[in-house]
Chain A
């Protein structure tokens, strides 16, 4: 089961026999998961099954009970290249009692790459604008984030992660409470990221418009991985091969989002 580390040269996330608990109560037991470069992996499962716990443990936000985690082939404890990972939490941190613009929030995605001691330069500004373009929010760059809708705030968080130009995106239920239109825009942003060779690990409640992008699903149940494999067969027209997730009309309305959407069906994986 646990492969030697030398073999996984293009391994992005490697979880071996992970066990995690809160205050002694075990939430995950014996979870192993491996994500290779270019993979798009969706973690599914019922409420409270431990999906968030899994990805938060991978990111080092929840202390590891037992087992091992490697990030880009390096043990998590010794991993330093956090600029390679873009994290999209479920919602904007509750912290902010002070207004902040969309641009300022997205700019904090550059810190991992730039470091604490350097001031933002033209490269950082360009990356922020590019990330906001990718999620279709460039026109809101100067607006306070609190004036955005829930779905737009979610896209702001994705832009923040994209601004750091990561190799791996980790997202926790990015579509929760987001309307269909925003989900489409969001799916397009992820499609481009995956199309450029990016790796994605995300928690989802339902696959929705992201379905064509998902290469593999992992179902967490009762603290273990109950299923791992191809996404469950969808119902309806989404199942048709070559189903285009790019809507021509949307192209005209939102060229920012769609200009780079895949042209010959979505098969980034």
Chain B
């Protein structure tokens, strides 16, 4: 535990905890909308931002936030148009993003596969104090937005047409989701890495919903799983000298397996001793028809 006296470890841990909370809070809406892979795509796009930052000598986190946000808004506009051409357009955007990123990183001075790997899979060493401030600020903003607008975002992701007829600002909310996805991807880049960011958005949600019945409880449990996986993952990876992103994601997947098995057992147990399905209508109503 004396590792925790090291400032860079403290920064890595705090950053991971923030992301562990924020990523599932956002991810639940993406999963609800069956857009589980969108975070992955935006991660590809963010890589171009990293490349731009390295090339121009700026902090790659800033340029990655900007490029990813532009990409996410673009994806949202494509999605809004319709589906058929959207799928291909998304694919091209994503591959363009990763190709551009690799190219730009290669062109920059501090090239080398090492620096690219850091951004793709995360690293314990790279979170600077400035990064941490940015991660903390943006992470808190994402978290606040996801919690404050939960009823509206739930309605939107559950039934977009209904949300429209309710007079909700559907477009604004969609863009909010797009931008917060981009922000979450980039702030998670340092610790988890761009290729594994999406896992931290999705896997805790998948794990939670094995044992929950409602949206709110799923969100709470997913955030709990996310923050636990992130915290324990950072500590483990420091002790065992493993890649932090991979460790965190594998821990989240372990949680998924545990809840899936636990949930199945609980259901079997409940079915064993429960009443017969009580959901049927009273028969006397049927008789009169």
State the main secondary structure of chain B at its contact with A. helix
Shortest distance from the beta carbon of A59 to any chain B beta carbon, whole Å? 5
CA distance in complex: A87, B162 (Å): 7
CA distance in complex: A245, B34 (Å): 42
- Measured between beta carbons, the chain A residues less than 8 angstroms from B148 are 117
Q: Tell me, yes or no, whether A182 is within 8 Å of chain B by CB.
A: yes
Q: How many A-B residue pairs have CB under 8 A?
A: 140
Q: Tell me, yes or no, whether A45 is within 8 Å of chain B by CB.
A: no
Contact flags B245-289 to A (C-beta < 8 A → 1, else 0)? 000000000000000000000000000000000010110111111
Q: Is the CB of A111 within 8 A of B155?
A: yes
Q: Is the CB of B167 within 8 A of A59?
A: no
Contact flags B24-36 to A (C-beta < 8 A → 1, else 0)? 0000100111101
Known: A100-B215, A142-B213, A148-B279. A95 touches B289 (CB 8 A): no
Q: Tell me, yes or no, whether A96 is within 8 Å of chain B by CB.
A: yes
Known: A112-B167, A249-B288, A254-B282. A95 touches B34 (CB 8 A): yes
Contact flags A152-185 to B (C-beta < 8 A → 1, else 0)? 1000000010001000000000000001111011
Q: Is the CB of A89 within 8 A of B162?
A: yes
Q: Tell me, yes or no, whether B174 is within 8 Å of chain A by CB.
A: no
- Measured between beta carbons, the chain A residues less than 8 angstroms from B286 are 180-181
- Measured between beta carbons, the chain B residues less than 8 angstroms from A108 are 151, 154-155, 158-159, 162-163, 166
Q: Tell me, yes or no, whether A130 is within 8 Å of chain B by CB.
A: no
- Chain B residue with the shortest CB-CB distance to A56: B161
Q: Tell me, yes or no, whether A104 is within 8 Å of chain B by CB.
A: yes
Known: A82-B166, A144-B214, A184-B289. A95 touches B33 (CB 8 A): yes
Q: Is the CB of B209 within 8 A of A99?
A: yes
Q: Is the CB of A98 within 8 A of B205?
A: yes
- Measured between beta carbons, the chain A residues less than 8 angstroms from B76 are none
Contact flags A60-100 to B (C-beta < 8 A → 1, else 0)? 11000000000000000000111101010100110111111
- Chain A residue with the shortest CB-CB distance to B289: A180
Known: A149-B279, A180-B286, A184-B289. A95 touches B159 (CB 8 A): yes
Q: Is the CB of B32 within 8 A of A95?
A: yes
Q: Tell me, yes or no, whether A101 is within 8 Å of chain B by CB.
A: yes
CA distance in complex: A160, B284 (Å): 27
- Measured between beta carbons, the chain B residues less than 8 angstroms from A265 are none
Q: Is the CB of A98 within 8 A of B285?
A: no
- Measured between beta carbons, the chain B residues less than 8 angstroms from A107 are 151
- Chain B residue with the shortest CB-CB distance to A209: B289
Known: A99-B218, A180-B286. A104 touches B33 (CB 8 A): no
- Chain A residue with the shortest CB-CB distance to B210: A99
Shortest distance from the beta carbon of A34 to any chain B beta carbon, whole Å? 20
Q: Is the CB of B165 within 8 A of A116?
A: no
Q: Is the CB of B285 within 8 A of A101?
A: no
CB-contact partner of A97 in B31, B159, B216, B289, under 8 A: B31
- Chain A residue with the shortest CB-CB distance to B208: A98
- Measured between beta carbons, the chain B residues less than 8 angstroms from A110 are 151
Q: Is the CB of A253 within 8 A of B284?
A: yes
- Measured between beta carbons, the chain B residues less than 8 angstroms from A105 are 158
- Measured between beta carbons, the chain B residues less than 8 angstroms from A144 are 213-214
Shortest distance from the beta carbon of A13 to any chain B beta carbon, whole Å? 13
Shortest distance from the beta carbon of A33 to any chain B beta carbon, whole Å? 18
Known: A61-B165, A116-B149. A95 touches B214 (CB 8 A): no
Q: Tell me, yes or no, whether A222 is within 8 Å of chain B by CB.
A: no
Q: Is the CB of B285 within 8 A of A247?
A: yes
- Measured between beta carbons, the chain B residues less than 8 angstroms from A180 are 286, 289
Q: Is the CB of B154 within 8 A of A182?
A: no
Q: Tell me, yes or no, whether A120 is within 8 Å of chain B by CB.
A: yes
- Measured between beta carbons, the chain B residues less than 8 angstroms from A254 are 282, 285
- Measured between beta carbons, the chain B residues less than 8 angstroms from A164 are 166
Q: Is the CB of A93 within 8 A of B279?
A: no
CA distance in complex: A88, B288 (Å): 27
Q: Is the CB of B161 within 8 A of A93?
A: yes
Contact flags B149-176 to A (C-beta < 8 A → 1, else 0)? 1011011011111111111110001000
Shortest distance from the beta carbon of B36 to any chain A beta carbon, whole Å? 7
Q: Is the CB of B165 within 8 A of A59?
A: yes
Q: Is the CB of B164 within 8 A of A60?
A: yes
Q: Which of B117-150 contact A (CB under 8 A)?
A: 148-149
Q: Which residues in B have some Cβ–Cβ distance to A below 8 Å?
A: 28, 31-34, 36, 148-149, 151-152, 154-155, 157-169, 173, 205, 209, 212-216, 218, 279, 281-282, 284-289
25 contacts between A and B (CB under 8 A): A61-B165, A82-B167, A85-B165, A87-B161, A89-B159, A89-B161, A93-B159, A96-B158, A98-B28, A98-B205, A99-B209, A104-B154, A104-B215, A105-B158, A107-B151, A108-B151, A108-B159, A112-B166, A116-B168, A179-B281, A180-B286, A181-B281, A181-B286, A181-B289, A250-B285
Which 5 pairs of residues, A with B, have the shortest CB-CB distance? A82-B167, A93-B159, A253-B282, A108-B155, A101-B214
Q: Which residues in A have some Cβ–Cβ distance to B below 8 Å?
A: 59-61, 80-83, 85, 87, 89, 92-93, 95-101, 103-105, 107-112, 116-117, 119-120, 140, 142-144, 147-149, 152, 160, 164, 179-182, 184-185, 209, 247, 249-250, 253-254
